[in-house]
Amino acid sequence: MKSTQSRRQFLAAAASGTVASLAAPIAFGKELAQPVSQPTIIPKKVFGANDRIRVAVLGVNGRGKTHIEEIMKQPNAVVAALCDPDLHLLKQRAKSFEEKYTQKVAIEQDFRTLYENRDIDAVTLATPNHWHALQAIWACQAGKDVYVEKPATHNIYEGRKLIEAAYKYNRIVQHGVQLRSSEAIREAITHLRDGLIGRVYMARGLVYRWRPDIGNQGISNIPEGLDYDLWCGPAPMVPFTKNLVHYNWHWHWNYGNGDVGNQGIHETDLCMWGLNVGLPERITSMGGKFLWDDCKEVPEIQTSIYHYPKQKKIIQFEVRNWCTNLEDGAGVGNIFYGDKGYMVINGYDSYETYFGEKREKGPARVAGGDHFKNWLDAIRARDMAIQNGPVESGHLSSALAHLGNISYRLGRQLEFDPVAERFVGDEDANNMLSREYRAPYLLPEKI
């Protein structure tokens, strides 16, 4: 792994748009090529060793429950508020919180009210994908540090603006890909860099999850207590359906990004980190719905190829959603191929290596880490250099998934300029780099 000094050097350079992150090379386009000014409105808050960091958790249905548990395990940190547009769910979660931790917690349906609260130091975002970047950017502007679940963005342009916001307002924005803090995975990356399996030329990302038929529940009345306008946010306001709230929005393009942009972000991140690459120059993706006649819009089966001709490297990414085989034990994970052997990453905290034609076993390890602690440590130190999941990695890993989805939706191979972050000679594809935002939930042009 890079030294702290080299990481600090990177951060200084990244602010002027010249180099890449610990995760993988990144080149900002012209828009981010100018030095980012330091914040002048939002003061830094310096935390002493005994100062408690007060965190608000946004989105409390699924992953947000884990956010609550992880924050409450940390010394000198506390969940001070819970927030969700579903007031019924919010009250349930607050009741469970008070029973478990024997203390009160504030609740708020509209996160914008919490952003105005100076007693809230940081926020975690476990909201639907279409809200991630906008909520994170607004949090930075309000002087809050951010832990944002994967994917960090719903489209590629949002990632560029999120990086800009983090640097301008000097906020610690941590991407919620916890394998970044796994001791085993960090050791595995060191092995790849040191040539343990030889010259590493290919990575495979695997997402084999059990995704059943979800049917089609049609249009119905908005449930009592749900602020559906706020739930939709920047996405179009369409008639309410239980097909969306609370989980199956993942399978609709206005809100989610399919499994490559859901579970798959862990693996897109690791593919790029392990190969030491940024965004690709050529993308091909195809797949479809072969099993269920339900209301999902995203493919059930999807295979994407990301080609790096100058580096002579390639990423293969595969989503399968039903009965399937595992690959050397990996169903959700990664495989790296070198000219001496290959490495299997199974899940978030283990790796194995195999060498030669006889697949002789090499080094292996199982060891986890604490991604939330790393985020809070960086907040206390006001030091992006010690982050394991920096904002740049959130943009890159999310963007790789978005590139595959754009190729799939257009049904053709795409050429991409990774410096300008634009498709070459394809305006249909370039129009999919961002989205139409619904007022008043607009992505700010000026951060």
pLDDT confidence of residue 26:
35
Angle at Cα 92 formed by Cα 88 and Cα 98, nearest 5°?
145
Residue 153 CB neighbours (<10 A): 29
Tell me which residues of the chain have a pLDDT lower than 70: 1-45, 48-50
pLDDT confidence of residue 167:
98
pLDDT confidence of residue 47:
75
For the entire predicted model, the pTM comes to 0.91
C-beta contacts of 168-171 below 8 A and 24+ residues apart? 168/36, 168/37, 168/38, 168/39, 168/140, 168/447, 169/39, 169/42, 169/140, 169/141, 169/143, 170/38, 170/39, 170/42, 170/44, 170/382, 171/139, 171/140, 171/143, 171/144, 171/145, 171/146
Tell me the C-alpha to C-alpha distance, in Å, between residue 105 and each of 54, 68, 85, 144, 361: 11, 11, 16, 19, 50
pLDDT confidence of residue 7:
40
Domains and CATH numbers, the chain: 4-180+371-390 (3.40.50.720), 182-214+245-368+401-430 (3.30.360.10)
pLDDT confidence of residue 40:
35
